[in-house]
Amino acid sequence: MDTDVHALRSLAQTYFDAAYEMDAEKFASIFHPSSSVTKVGDDGNVAVTPIAAWLAAVRNLRAPKEQGLERDDQIVSIDVERELALLKLKFQIPPRYFTDMLSCLKVNGAWKIVQKVMTSKP
């Protein structure tokens, strides 16, 4: 269990670094290829984006690091049950503040994000 928590903390750090650097390849390294990103869209409906489309959008975003924006990354919780884990993370890309719930599965001995559910506020 401690090994899994350590690996999931490392995954979370890679996630935070990828968000700060807006690095699609770094994100791709921790997401399962069949994963998706889910949020409530601007129209109030649930929006589900396949990971490939989400990564394509990330490639067109300006990195907070390039803008000199301050980081504030927080692992709120890690819950592990055998090959299943749920990470709750908070971070900022000013002017937005994000809360992400990452469902992870241990696939062939490596933890991968299989579902990202997110919300943000100004």
Contact at 8 Å (CB) between 21 and 63?
A: yes
Look at residues 22, 41, 10 and name the one whose alpha carbon lies nearest to residue 113. 10
Contact at 8 Å (CB) between 36 and 116?
A: yes
pLDDT in tens, the chain (122 residues): 689 999 999 999 999 999 999 999 999 999 999 999 999 988 999 999 999 999 999 999 999 999 999 999 999 999 999 999 999 999 999 889 999 999 999 999 999 999 999 999 98
Token code pair at residue 109: 């001995």
Cα distance between residue 94 and residue 70, in whole Å: 8
Contact at 8 Å (CB) between 107 and 113?
A: no
pTM for the model stands at 0.95
Beta strands, E only, the chain: 31-40, 46-50, 74-81, 84-93, 96-107, 110-121
Residue 12: predicted pLDDT: 98
Look at residues 120, 81, 82, 83 and name the one whose alpha carbon lies nearest to residue 101. 120
